[in-house]
């Protein structure tokens, strides 16, 4: 499973050769993750290993998101998330700070949403911290609606969701 390329973006599997870019992406994402210590290369190794496990177990994960020229933008894809004891397929997107507010997240997430629908995912969610207004906008641009608030990954999260296909 791999989302179709978009007008400006393409997807590919994440590998250990992406560690420098993934480390930078995670550092840029840190302010949205609360008061944890800054991400480092070891965190990036764990992130890539998590994607390898996701692909092995589910047939999907977070893919590297890059321009058609090969410039790293961030990642976007699907993961299975435990939401208060219930597994849900989540669309996730994490961009380098200088690539935000350019429409890349919505463009990529639409391709991932369509890929999920084509592969039989019936319900898609996005777990978003209440103060992450930009990410909430991306979820709404996908057609998602706020379903509820849940305690996820050590904090409150807004659960945006939508039914797909069928």
The residue assigned the tokens 């499973």 is 1
Within-domain flag for 92: yes
pLDDT band at 139 (very low <50, low <70, confident <90, very high): very high
Within-domain flag for 87: yes
Rounded Cα–Cα distance for residues 14 and 75 (Å): 9
- 20-47: per-residue pLDDT in tens? 999 999 988 765 555 566 778 898 999 9
pLDDT at 25: 92
Q: Residue 100 CA to chain centroid, in angstroms? A: 14
Within-domain flag for 24: yes
Within-domain flag for 2: no
Average pLDDT (46-50) is 94
Within-domain flag for 61: yes
Domain of 20 in residue numbering reads as 9-163
Within-domain flag for 55: yes
Q: What is the CATH number of the domain that holds 130?
A: 3.40.630.30
pLDDT at 33: 52
52: nearest Cα among 43, 41, 62: 62
Rounded Cα–Cα distance for residues 129 and 48 (Å): 23
H/E/C letters for each residue in the chain? CCCCCCCCEEEECCCHHHHHHHHHHHHHHHHHHCCCCCCCHHHHHHHHHHHHHHHHHHCCCEEEEEECCCCEEEEEEEEEEEECCEEEEEEEEEECHHHCCCCHHHHHHHHHHHHHHHCCCCEEEEEECCCCHHHHHHHHHCCCEEEEEEEECCEEEEEEEEECCC
Average pLDDT (98-117) is 96
Rounded Cα–Cα distance for residues 86 and 106 (Å): 26
Within-domain flag for 155: yes
The residue assigned the tokens 């997240």 is 105
Within-domain flag for 1: no
Average pLDDT (137-151) is 96
Number of domains the chain contains = 1
Q: Decide: pTM greater than 0.85.
A: yes
Counting Cβ atoms within 10 Å, is residue 124 exposed (0-12), middle (13-18) or buried (19+)? buried
Percentage of the chain lying above the pLDDT 90 cut = 84
pLDDT at 99: 95
């Amino acid at each position: 499973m791999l989302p179709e390329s978009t007008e400006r973006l393409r997807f590919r599997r994440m590998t250990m050769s992406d560690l420098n870019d993934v480390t930078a992406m995670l550092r840029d994402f840190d302010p949205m993750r609360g008061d944890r210590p800054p991400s480092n290369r070891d965190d990036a190794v764990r992130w890539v290993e998590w994607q390898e496990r996701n692909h092995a177990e589910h047939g999907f994960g977070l893919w590297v998101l890059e321009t058609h020229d090969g410039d790293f933008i961030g990642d976007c894809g699907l993961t299975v998330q435990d939401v208060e004891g219930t597994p849900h397929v989540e669309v996730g997107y994490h961009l380098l700070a200088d690539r935000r507010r350019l429409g890349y997240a919505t463009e990529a997430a639409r391709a991932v949403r369509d890929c999920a629908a084509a592969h039989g995912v019936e319900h898609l969610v996005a777990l978003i911290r209440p103060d992450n207004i930009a990410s909430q906008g991306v979820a709404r641009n996908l057609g998602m609606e706020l379903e509820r608030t849940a305690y996820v990954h050590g904090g409150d999260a807004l659960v945006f969701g939508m039914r797909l296909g069928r």
